[in-house]
Structure 1
Amino acid sequence: MENFRSNVRKPTMSLQIAVEKVRWLAAGLLELNGCDADIAQDVAEHMIEAERYGFASHGVTLLPKYLENIARGDVTANARPECLTSEGNLQRFHAHNGFGQHAGKVAVNAAIEQAKRRGFCLLTLCHAHHLGRMGHYGQMVADQGLAMLAMSNVTGRPALVAPWGGAEPRMTTNPFCFAWPFSDGRPPILVDFATSSMALNKARVMSSTGKQAAPGQLIDAQGNPSNDPGVLFSNPPGALLPFGEHKGFGLALMIEMMAGILSGGDTIAEDHQTDGSAHNHLFALIIDPDQFTDLAGEKGQFFADYLLATQPQPGGNPVIYPGMPEAANRERNAKMITIPVSFWSWVVEHYARKGIDLGLHPQESALAG
């Protein structure tokens, strides 16, 4: 999900901090602000995994925004998902404005159990606060030897993406995820992308660092092509364009209908107020490949080997599949992750405002990890 912007400004320095320390402090902050312990742990774990996989845009620097959302009532800190339907191959959940990372975990785990029993499960989840990184749920499913197609739309926030040929935003980044497991120890295929030309948080990072976007990714508020990602944050704002022109637009449209309507949630047309907090609605199909064919595992591995044996372009790197670089990142970041000094200072200061002295200056406490 790409519709959250971290409050942390462009960092001037970064630190290497122990993963377990950041996990503990992140969960603690959420508990101090009204979350039950297990919900806080689920949200913190999701953010830590995003950091480890290399997606800092969905990591712990979202905490300031999340705590702001709690204070404003944009998210109900201790809300738990309700199972509306659990019949056969269908699981329907309502998140009741609770944290998406917790609601998503509960719902996906329920669907995993049904898929193991029945071969597949259709899952919907509506009215969740930020679900986080879609690939997180794909990894959960693949770890159980299952495959997944999942998609999510975003409501409650202004539109960000112009329809193909349009001069103003009418949609959001509507992410899509596909996961396929392997049983031989290699990483799963894990496809996770926004249907816009880039993710909003990527544009935010580019804007804060002064980088320019490639042609064909953005338009300004007048509908003119622009390379400046800052147009998305101007008043009035510009818009992202769909990736792949009409193809990305068509995929985003499908996701809006499937996730926004079939989940029992909303579409962006119904709910795009400018002062709210984003809500996600999810549609997913979780499949046990082995219940469809005895050769699913072997055929999947054979196809992956076939792709990996592709001759690379002259001077290029070896061909890989989606999920391989992220798995390497996670292994590399098993014990330590990198975060901005500005964020670490915010953590120490926020604990101090709650009457808790961590006992060290930001840099010292970080390096003590």
Structure 2
Amino acid sequence: MSEEFRVVPVETHNALVEAAYKHRGYTQEESAYAAKFAAYASQHGIRTHNALKALHLDHLFGSGSQGCVPAAEIEKLDTKFEASQIWNANRKLGQATAYEALETCIEMADKYGVAQVSVDNAFHYLWGGGYVMEAAKRGYIAYTNCTAALAEVVPFGGKFPTLGTNPHSWGFPTTDAVGFPIVIDWATSVIAMGRVQQLAREGATLPPNAAVDKDGNPTTDPKEASALIPFGAHKGYGLSLINEIVAGFIGGSLPTVRNRAWEQEEEKHTACFYFQVIHPDALSAGAFAKGRDQSTNVKAVIDDILGHGNENCLLPGQIEAGAAQRSEKNGGLLFSEAEIDAFNELANECCAQSWDVSSFEIAK
């Protein structure tokens, strides 16, 4: 039997999320960005990176710690490269910083064909797929990666967590071809820590070979999970390593110190992230077969991949597109009763009106 969800109006959700962020000292603009992004994640069924995850991270490593500074200002550093920008975020809220980085990349890509923004002293921006999806919906190819808030993943063949879950996210403007943007977005661990927390909240179990306990032994109990395992053995390990090395070039902190060991004042404790946006016209060689243009050629390539008996295969981003359609059909965001209980804890924290679960319709 499938889990029952309640339909929460976007306005109701955003009002509470904004109130929670403002209660913690964030500006109206920052709080609005946070609520907008949380709603976008929930709209697309990303339950591991919704507002509950965002505010939990803020409590642990953000305004409740030393990792994020409400109302901080981004410092844009000098660079000799016209299609590149380098930012010191000064620990500004990650969602607000990431939205601005994405918009900046799009503006530069319109001019130069390709653009990048690297961000130092950042706070985690949550679901990377949401940003590249937004760019893809607007007709651009986009990529982002970031270093995770904590080192929670053991390297391939290792015992001690020295890597983050370190996600990679790609978005492609394929709405004309398949009806939605193809979004390839994954943590480089078998499972994201947000998913572990979700399963623990709901009394479920982990998949095998996804996590280890405090003694380094494999566990399927989310409440016993102490560290995560890379997906695909050495392949996931290598992809995770990319994020740390890119961050190292930007100015990144040591993974095992990040958001930990604050007494080591000479070390940085912040994350880094990186955005790249490509205008499709900047890639086109123009020599498409059978007189196809770029858009119809992309569709032909995808049709070939999903042909030959592969018609039932899913494309990355298809599940999220389906979740968005379901949200739209129901006229709101879908949450379990356990999630609504967690939202009411936030309401109590910021003295906002709590949600009456019985007032929300059951999702169809």
Query: Which residue identity does 1:171 align to in structure 2?
Result: L
CA contact (8 A) 2:137 2:175 kept: no
Q: Paired residue for 2:176, among 173, 181, 184?
A: 184
User: Aligned runs of 1:249-328 on 2, under 5 Å?
Assistant: 249-258=237-246, 260-271=247-258, 273=260, 279-293=270-284, 294=286, 295-312=293-310, 318-328=312-322
Q: Does the alignment pair 1:33 with 2:16? A: no
Give the 3 Å change call, closer, same or farther, for CA 168–349 of structure 1 in structure 2: same
User: Aligned runs of 1:9-48 on 2, under 5 Å?
Assistant: 15-48=6-39
Query: Which residue identity does 1:84 align to in structure 2?
Result: L
Measure how far apart 1:35 and its partner are.
Answer: 1.8
Where does structure 1 differ by over 6 angstroms across 4 or more consecutive aligned residues? 275-278
Question: Which stretch of the first structure deviates more once superposed, 55-64 or 92-101?
Answer: 55-64
Question: Which stretch of the first structure deviates more once superposed, 298-307 or 68-77?
Answer: 68-77
Aligned partners of 1:33, 1:251: CA distance in 2, in Å? Answer: 35
SS of the equivalent of 1:226 reads: coil
Measure how far apart 1:297 and its partner are.
Answer: 2.6
Question: Which stretch of the first structure deviates more once superposed, 285-294 or 343-352?
Answer: 343-352
CA contact (8 A) 1:124 1:262 kept: no
SS of the equivalent of 2:321 reads: helix
Corresponding residue of 1:346: 345
User: Aligned runs of 1:59-78 on 2, under 5 Å?
Assistant: 59-62=50-53, 64-65=55-56, 68=59, 69-78=62-71
Corresponding residue of 1:168: 160
Q: Does the alignment pair 1:97 with 2:91? A: yes
CA contact (8 A) 1:126 1:280 kept: yes
Query: Which residue identity does 2:235 align to in structure 1?
Result: K
CA contact (8 A) 1:75 1:97 kept: yes
SS of the equivalent of 2:166 reads: coil
Question: Which stretch of the first structure deviates more once superposed, 242-251 or 71-80?
Answer: 71-80
Q: Does the alignment pair 1:214 with 2:207? A: yes
Query: Which residue identity does 1:298 align to in structure 2?
Result: T
Measure how far apart 1:31 and its partner are.
Answer: 2.5
SS of the equivalent of 2:245 reads: helix
User: Aligned runs of 1:81-96 on 2, under 5 Å?
Assistant: 81-85=74-78, 87-96=81-90
Q: Deviations over 1:287-339 (max 9, x none)?
A: 11212214543322211222333524xxxx81121011201211211322233
Give the 3 Å change call, closer, same or farther, for CA 90–15 of structure 1 in structure 2: same
How many residues end up aligned between the 2 structures? 339
CA contact (8 A) 1:15 1:338 kept: yes
Query: Which residue identity does 2:341 align to in structure 1?
Result: S
Give the 3 Å change call, closer, same or farther, for CA 29–221 of structure 1 in structure 2: closer
Aligned partners of 1:73, 1:162: CA distance in 2, in Å? Answer: 25
Measure how far apart 1:19 and its partner are.
Answer: 1.4
Q: Percent identity?
A: 23
Aligned partners of 2:6, 2:181: CA distance in 1, in Å? Answer: 30
Q: Does the alignment pair 1:56 with 2:72? A: no
CA contact (8 A) 1:153 1:267 kept: no
Measure how far apart 1:148 and its partner are.
Answer: 1.8
Measure how far apart 1:275 and its partner are.
Answer: 7.1
Give the 3 Å change call, closer, same or farther, for CA 270–218 of structure 1 in structure 2: closer
SS of the equivalent of 1:231 reads: coil
Q: Deviations over 1:245-288 (max 9, x none)?
A: 01111111112101x22332324145351679984311232211
Aligned partners of 1:264, 1:188: CA distance in 2, in Å? Answer: 32
Aligned partners of 1:134, 1:116: CA distance in 2, in Å? Answer: 22
CA contact (8 A) 1:203 1:229 kept: yes
SS of the equivalent of 1:20 reads: helix
Report the TM-score when normalising by structure 2.
Answer: 0.84
SS of the equivalent of 1:285 reads: strand
CA contact (8 A) 1:19 1:48 kept: yes
Corresponding residue of 1:144: 138
Give the 3 Å change call, closer, same or farther, for CA 223–63 of structure 1 in structure 2: closer
Give the 3 Å change call, closer, same or farther, for CA 153–201 of structure 1 in structure 2: same
Aligned partners of 2:73, 2:341: CA distance in 1, in Å? Answer: 32
SS of the equivalent of 2:255 reads: coil
CA contact (8 A) 1:130 1:278 kept: no
Query: Which residue identity does 2:68 align to in structure 1?
Result: V
Aligned partners of 1:275, 1:204: CA distance in 2, in Å? Answer: 25
CA contact (8 A) 1:309 1:319 kept: no
Report the TM-score when normalising by structure 1.
Answer: 0.83
SS of the equivalent of 1:225 reads: coil
Give the 3 Å change call, closer, same or farther, for CA 269–350 of structure 1 in structure 2: closer
Q: Paired residue for 1:243, among 228, 231, 234?
A: 231
Aligned partners of 1:131, 1:116: CA distance in 2, in Å? Answer: 24
